[in-house]
Every structure is written in C-alpha cells, then in structure tokens.
Structure 1
Amino acid sequence: MTSAQASKDHPEGQKPPLLMDDHTVATVRESKILILLRGLPGSGKTELAKEVEQKYKDSARLFSADQYNIRPAVRSSTGGEYAKLDEDLNSCCERHEASIIIVDDTHHDRERLEELFDLANKFQFTVIVLEPKTPWRLDCSQLKDKNHWKLSLEELKNLRPTLEKDMLPLYFGWFLAKRDEDNLRKTAHEFLEQLGNLKAFKKHLQAFSCEDKHKMDLLKYFAKTPNILHCTTKFCDYGKAPGSEEYAQLEAVRKGYSKAFTLHISALFVTPRTAGAQVELTQEQLHVWPSDAEKEAMPKDVLPRGSRAHITLGCASDVQDVQAGIDLLEFVKLQQAGREGENMGELLGGKISYYDSGMWMLVLPRKKEVKTIFSGYYGKSGVTAPHLGGKKGLLSQCQIV
C-alpha cells in the first residue's frame, strides 16, 4: 500500500483487514509478521500502531521511533540514532518474544527500510506496510500543527517526496502462515524422501544427471528453498517490471493487501530443476491474479488463467525460483494435450505419475488447505532458507508448534 494510493483507496476511517476481518485476524495470529507503519509526522501512524498492538496484545510488540527520541529528518545515511532501537528489535526476534512486531516510524529512508527488510529475512517475518488513511496525511500545512516534534513546514516538505511515491515490492504474493508453512515443508520432505526411494523413480535418474544409478537424495538436490513459502502473484522488481504499477493499483490488490486467503494445494511436482506445489485458485483469488501471468511465461501458448499458481518448495543449485511456475505449465500443457502421465503407484495416499524428461506429479488424495496473508516481499532477491541444523533444506526452519 502506498501513500499516493491511499487517498483513492479508502474513505476516512476504513481500517486494514488485519484489524477488521476475522479470518485475517486468526491467520495473522498464526503467522510471523513485521508491520511497518509509514507516513509523515502527525499523519496518524501512532494511533494506528497502537490499535494494531491492542488487537494482538498477547503476541505483539510495538517499537516506536518516538520512544527512542529519533527525530524525523532527511539523512544522507542512517546513523547511530537507531542503534538502541535495533538492539532491542534484534533481541525481541532472537528471544521469540513476539510473533507480531510493529515498528512505528516515518520510514521515508530507503536505506533504513532495507535494514528492516534484512531483519525480516533473517528471522523469517512476512512484511506488511501500513499507512494512515487520514485526509491530512500529505498536507504539510496541517501536519505542521499536528506533529509533536514541531517540525517546520519546510522540514515536512523535505520529507514528503519519498512518502508520496508508490513503494512497490520485489513481488506480491500469498505468504503462508507459520504453522501451515511448517506443515507443508514436512509434507514436501516426506514426498521427496519417498519419491527418491521409489523403484520406478530410480529407473529415470538420468534426467537428473545423477552419477549413482541406484540412489538419489532429493532433499539434498533441492536444498535451496525459499526463505518463506509463498505463492507469487506479480513480480514487480520494485516497480521496474512492466505493468507493476498498474497491478498495484488494481482495486482487488489494494483491498486484498494484508488480507488472509486460504489456498488449496492439489498436487506436488518434481522436475530436474524444481520441486513445487500446484495451487488451485478460487474466483476471489483470481481477482488478484495478473491476466497475463501465463502468457508472460509462455507467450505462444493459450493456458487457463491461474494455471501458473504454485508454491516453490525447492530448486536445484543453479536454478531460480521462477522456474517452478514454468515447470508447472509444462505439466499443464501435457495435460491439455490429453497426456495424464504413466501411473507409477501411490505416495502419501495419492497417485504418482511420470510424464517424461524427469517430470513427476503427485495428485493429493485431498486438497491441502494453507492459510496465507496477501502482501509484498520488499527485501533482496535470491534470499533462501538458512540452514539451522537438523534436516537439510525443506525442514531447516521448521518449529514444533
């Protein structure tokens, strides 16, 4: 959400879904969320921050820049004024003191924001950026009288330009609640372990360039896993990707931001490049699905809208996450042509089929539901799950809950 959008989006007093929608509130409570309040001094951030803190008081912690006496100002670089706040933030994360962390600051400085995005990645928090919807939030003449720092009109005008711009993420998507993420990683772990031990699979190892013809450790092969499991909707490249600004301004995207959605996983798949989960989207979810998502990946093909929807579970060492969606569309194309694959028996209670070129798909006996929050990923690209010991890759970040 952006300050420029905000005036068009919501009438005064409309609150974000994480305050008003029961399903969203329940999902946020099961998630790890870093909420960043953003806006000019006096625009209403603190009131909104306190409201969120009160809503999630049993699991939330609020950090306010004002309490650390950090005066809003244009800086050439972030200085030592944030040292104590960051020390307390890191301590809170390391000690697992809160699953919902709220930071109340102007957040006008990109360098400062990147430090917080790095923190979110390190501790695997989904980021939500919230801005107040007050009518005066960009009116410096009114803010001059409302901000407790007594900032001058000139100081406020110097801060405003960066807060007027749309802050677009690297990509938008549905980010899994922690419990469901851990559960899906466990299911994926079992799938890869059982598939790797399947006799039929061992007969087709040449597609994976495996030297040992009798054994393959798929968990090790797909050790590169996303930091937070998610289903990407639109890759924006912070606004540089074609169509990203138009996508961010869609009514369904604006209204859906910070809202919970339940995704349905119908199948798991493996290719020599990626392991992933196929997602079946509802009509409501298709409203935030880009109309050109499939065409973007395969310009020459006509594919059903939403058929690219997936959750990347793992990639081979030299493969990017985006490949999982392309691999899924290869399955869809084969199925459209009437090829259902060769039945190779059962895994996890579902039918496992082999297509060709190392392509395997497991149709689950029952669709798996996962709770998600629709938001953006604002950090650096290529961030993968840290190896924290225990099982490799897919289970490296699981917690007992």
Structure 2
Amino acid sequence: MSSQASPKDPQEGQKPPLLVDDHTVVTIRESKIFVLLRGLPGSGKSTLGKEIEQKYKDTSRLISADQYEIKPVIRSSSGADYTKLDDELTTCFERREANLVILDDTHHDHERLEELFDFANKYHFIVVILEPKTPWRLDCAQLKDRNHWKLSLEELKNLRPSLEKDLLPLYFGWFLAKRDEDSLRKTSHEFLEQLGNLKAFKKRLLAYGYEDKHKLDLLKHFAKTPNILHCTAKFCDYGKAVGSEEYARQEVVKKSYSKGYTLHITALFATPRTVGARLELTEEQLLLWPLDAEREVMPKDSFPRGSRAHITLGTAAEVQDVQTGIDLLEFIKLQQAGREGESLGELTGSVAGKVSYFDNGMWMVNLSRKIEVKSIFSGYYGKPGVSVPLRGSKKGLLHQCHIM
C-alpha cells in the first residue's frame, strides 16, 4: 500500500501510519508492539482493530474485551472481570505468539491502563495508543444506537469525560525496533569491551573510580540500561511538564505517532556516568524535536537544534538516564570551544572509528560508518525508571536480549 493518501480515498489520510506507510509497516514487523485501542463503545475501535490485524495477519493477535463480556462502565470493583483476559494476554506474551498484540477495549480506566503498561514493560513491548477518527466518536446520541452493549445516553455521557482528553505519556520518543535494539545492545557491549582494553584507557582509570586495571569491568560499571532503547523527543511527565500539552497537539506530532523512522548514529561515547550513542536527526525528525530541548538542561549555553539527540545505552548505578544527554552536550560544548579531544587510537568491527579523549574520563569514538536503526515514534506511558540490569559478561548481556 502506498504511503501517500489517494485522492479517491479521503479516509486514507485519517488512518494511522502503521496502516498506510510502507516503511512503518516494515518497521512494525521487526518490532514488539502493544496496540491499545481506546474510545467510547460504538466509535469504531473494532473496525480499526480488525484492519490492523488483517494488515499484519501473519504476526498479529487481536484480543477484545467483548469476547469476555466485559461491559464498558465506570468501575468500582477490583477488576476481577479482567482475570481471564489477562490470562490470555500473559499466554500470548510469554509464548511469543505475536509481535503485534492489539487489545480492543474502551481503556477509560486509569488503574486498568497502568496494569497494561506494566504488562508492556515486563515483556518489552512498545505501547501505541490508537483512537478511531470517525466523525461520531464522541457523539453520545449517535453512539447510543451504534454500540452493541445498548448503553444508555446517560451511561455514555458518564464514560465520555475520561476519554475526551488525550492520554499523555511520560515522554514521546523514537523506540527502537526489536531486531535493531538487540543489535545495538551487542554493539554497545563491543564498544565497552574494546574501550576497556585500550591501553590509553587503562592509563586513565581514576575518573571511573578504579586504580587497578585488572578490576576494571565497564559492563559492571554501567549497571543498568533502559528497558527499551529509545531517543526521547519530549518529556511530558504525563501532561504535567511545561509545554507538554502544546507539543502533543502539534499536527506533526499527531501525524507522526506510530510512524517508523530510521535513526542515524554517528558516534558512541562514555563518561564515568553514562554510555550513549549520538544521533544525527534528519530535517523531518527535527520537526518533532522541541526548540528548547537543549536549553532545558543547559539554559546558559547555545547549541544547534537536535544536539542533545541520543540513545542511552547504559548508566552507572544511581545515575538517571537524562544525564546521558547532558554528558553529550558537554562533549559538544568542548568541540564548540575548538577542543576536539586527544586522538588515542582506533576501534574496529561494528564500532570502527577514531577514539578521542576529552577531560574527566570523557571518551568518544566517531564512527567510520553511521549505524542505522529502525524506530517507531510513540510514547512511554509506564512508570519512570524501568530498566534492565546490564550484566558483566558477554553471556549475561546477550541473555537479556530476546531475539525474535
């Protein structure tokens, strides 16, 4: 299917990118996606869900709350009516029956949503929340006749307030497709292994808290890594952060949601606090990059837009992921001052490039060849700080990467 909307099909432009964009379709097939269909009964969720299932019929699984006779009402119960549905979800995730799981429900209850976000985190699925774009999706008078539950006008009006407002994530960003994520984790391991074995690095261990080179283990030093590798575009704090609602309302953000993008990694870097990948955003990707993203963390400095774009690969214990972007800006700040670092050797393989050393344990390898990774632009809706332990052996690191 063409990624361009056909003039003969005006509804095509209303469909999410995962249905109409060729590059997105390829990326979705290489990712682990949990689609939550959200909206009032009768708004068109089931039709949208079946269309997505048909588009990805070889790799998808559609599960509906209707199958379990779960009536969409304001609940005061403990949610026991979801037990059987959740059992099916668990089986689907654990047996890897599908890499695209679609859940059809109203998703109006925040406690229920939090349970589903925990599901996604546990099994490393990217969450995509989709709502039908039908003209009647919020028209309770029409929905009264369209919903098969025969909900009254009053019952629909009671549900509507919880579904009128957009559900904002902790942050928007580009989330790596599973295949490329696994590959990048291996590349990160190789980078740390080669860097740690570099003679020049072993002579400069104090910044990392080591005196004896034999005790050096960079994989152990960078104790944790994000649950799903990603590049954060806008931190929203579920709508509490300044400018988050305005960001989410931008047409470019709405049109890009669930769309596939190729990210370009130009360098890998390590400091005593973080290890990360530097990104070079395209003009299209920069449209999704907030104007104040760099100024948010370094208000007194001036950087080109997109300078902070990165993927956190790991952090030292107790260090927050946000530090990786700050560390990257410190490198760029030195470069702006004309300091390109001391050239101290080269790395080989997938991390081939010249190694430069800056002050205070700051190392960067500018890659001879850019690394391309596929990603999906979406939101992270779960709890903050979810991470995966980064074990200190090659076997341990690969064990955490589930190859699809």
5+ residue gaps, structure 1, are 1-9
Mapped to 1, the partners of 2:249 and 2:235 lie a distance apart of 14
Which residue in the other structure is 1:22 paired with? 22
Which residue in the other structure is 1:310 paired with? 310
5+ residue gaps, structure 2, are 1-9
Deviations 1:229-249 (A, max 9, x none): 000000000000001001111
Residue identity opposite 2:289 in structure 1: W
Which residue in the other structure is 1:229 paired with? 229
Which residue in the other structure is 2:131 paired with? 131
Conserved in 2, the CA contact under 8 Å of 1:388 and 1:396? no
Decide whether aligned partners of structure 1 residues 12 and 180 sit closer, same or farther in structure 2, where only a CA change above 3 A counts: closer
Deviates more, 1:72-81 or 1:124-133: 72-81
Structure 1 residue 198 displacement after superposition: 1.1
Decide whether aligned partners of structure 1 residues 95 and 386 sit closer, same or farther in structure 2, where only a CA change above 3 A counts: farther
Mapped to 1, the partners of 2:333 and 2:34 lie a distance apart of 39
Q: Secondary structure at the match of 2:226?
A: coil
TM-score (norm 2): 0.94
Structure 1 residue 385 displacement after superposition: 1.8
Conserved in 1, the CA contact under 8 Å of 2:220 and 2:390? no
Residue identity opposite 1:42 in structure 2: G
Q: Secondary structure at the match of 2:266?
A: strand
Deviations 1:332-386 (A, max 9, x none): 0001111110011101221011001000001111000000000000000000025
**RMSD (Å), alpha carbons:** 1.6
Which residue in the other structure is 2:115 paired with? 115
Q: Secondary structure at the match of 2:101?
A: strand
Decide whether aligned partners of structure 1 residues 392 and 318 sit closer, same or farther in structure 2, where only a CA change above 3 A counts: farther
Q: Secondary structure at the match of 2:334?
A: helix
Mapped to 2, the partners of 1:173 and 1:14 lie a distance apart of 22
Mapped to 1, the partners of 2:117 and 2:172 lie a distance apart of 15
Decide whether aligned partners of structure 1 residues 392 and 354 sit closer, same or farther in structure 2, where only a CA change above 3 A counts: farther
Mapped to 2, the partners of 1:243 and 1:393 lie a distance apart of 40
Structure 1 residue 36 displacement after superposition: 0.3
Which residue in the other structure is 1:382 paired with? 385
Which residue in the other structure is 1:361 paired with? 364
Conserved in 2, the CA contact under 8 Å of 1:274 and 1:314? yes
Residue identity opposite 1:295 in structure 2: R
Conserved in 2, the CA contact under 8 Å of 1:24 and 1:259? yes
Which residue in the other structure is 1:171 paired with? 171
Structure 1 residue 399 displacement after superposition: 3.1
Structure 1 residue 170 displacement after superposition: 0.2
Q: Secondary structure at the match of 1:293?
A: coil
Q: Does 1:371 find its partner at 2:374?
A: yes
Decide whether aligned partners of structure 1 residues 388 and 124 sit closer, same or farther in structure 2, where only a CA change above 3 A counts: farther
Mapped to 2, the partners of 1:291 and 1:211 lie a distance apart of 42
Q: Give the alignment of 1:152-167 within 5 angstroms.
A: 152-167=152-167
Conserved in 1, the CA contact under 8 Å of 2:223 and 2:390? no
Which residue in the other structure is 1:51 paired with? 51
Structure 1 residue 223 displacement after superposition: 2.3
Decide whether aligned partners of structure 1 residues 249 and 15 sit closer, same or farther in structure 2, where only a CA change above 3 A counts: same
Which residue in the other structure is 2:88 paired with? 88
Which residue in the other structure is 1:264 paired with? 264
Q: Secondary structure at the match of 1:269?
A: strand
Deviates more, 1:74-83 or 1:23-32: 74-83
TM-score (norm 1): 0.95
Mapped to 2, the partners of 1:285 and 1:12 lie a distance apart of 23
Residue identity opposite 1:196 in structure 2: G
Conserved in 1, the CA contact under 8 Å of 2:390 and 2:397? no
Q: Secondary structure at the match of 1:175?
A: strand
Which residue in the other structure is 1:219 paired with? 219
Which residue in the other structure is 1:4 paired with? none
Q: Secondary structure at the match of 1:85?
A: helix
Deviation >2 Å, runs of 4+: 10-13, 211-215, 386-397
Structure 1 residue 215 displacement after superposition: 4.0
Mapped to 1, the partners of 2:138 and 2:402 lie a distance apart of 43
Q: Secondary structure at the match of 1:93?
A: helix
Deviates more, 1:307-316 or 1:203-212: 203-212
Decide whether aligned partners of structure 1 residues 387 and 104 sit closer, same or farther in structure 2, where only a CA change above 3 A counts: farther
Q: Secondary structure at the match of 1:314?
A: strand
Conserved in 2, the CA contact under 8 Å of 1:275 and 1:313? yes
Deviations 1:266-322 (A, max 9, x none): 000000100000000010000000000001110000101000000000000010000
Conserved in 2, the CA contact under 8 Å of 1:269 and 1:278? yes
Residue identity opposite 2:384 in structure 1: S
Which residue in the other structure is 1:186 paired with? 186
Conserved in 2, the CA contact under 8 Å of 1:352 and 1:363? yes
Which residue in the other structure is 2:402 paired with? 399
Mapped to 2, the partners of 1:355 and 1:386 lie a distance apart of 28
Deviates more, 1:33-42 or 1:74-83: 74-83
Q: Does 1:240 find its partner at 2:240?
A: yes
Deviates more, 1:208-217 or 1:258-267: 208-217
Deviations 1:65-92 (A, max 9, x none): 0011100010124421100000010011
Q: Secondary structure at the match of 1:150?
A: coil
Q: Secondary structure at the match of 2:28?
A: helix
Decide whether aligned partners of structure 1 residues 392 and 121 sit closer, same or farther in structure 2, where only a CA change above 3 A counts: farther
Mapped to 1, the partners of 2:166 and 2:238 lie a distance apart of 9
Mapped to 2, the partners of 1:388 and 1:330 lie a distance apart of 28
Mapped to 2, the partners of 1:65 and 1:389 lie a distance apart of 43
Mapped to 1, the partners of 2:189 and 2:276 lie a distance apart of 11
Which residue in the other structure is 2:281 paired with? 281
Structure 1 residue 227 displacement after superposition: 0.1
Structure 1 residue 387 displacement after superposition: 6.8
Mapped to 2, the partners of 1:297 and 1:172 lie a distance apart of 17
Mapped to 2, the partners of 1:215 and 1:21 lie a distance apart of 50
Conserved in 1, the CA contact under 8 Å of 2:391 and 2:397? no
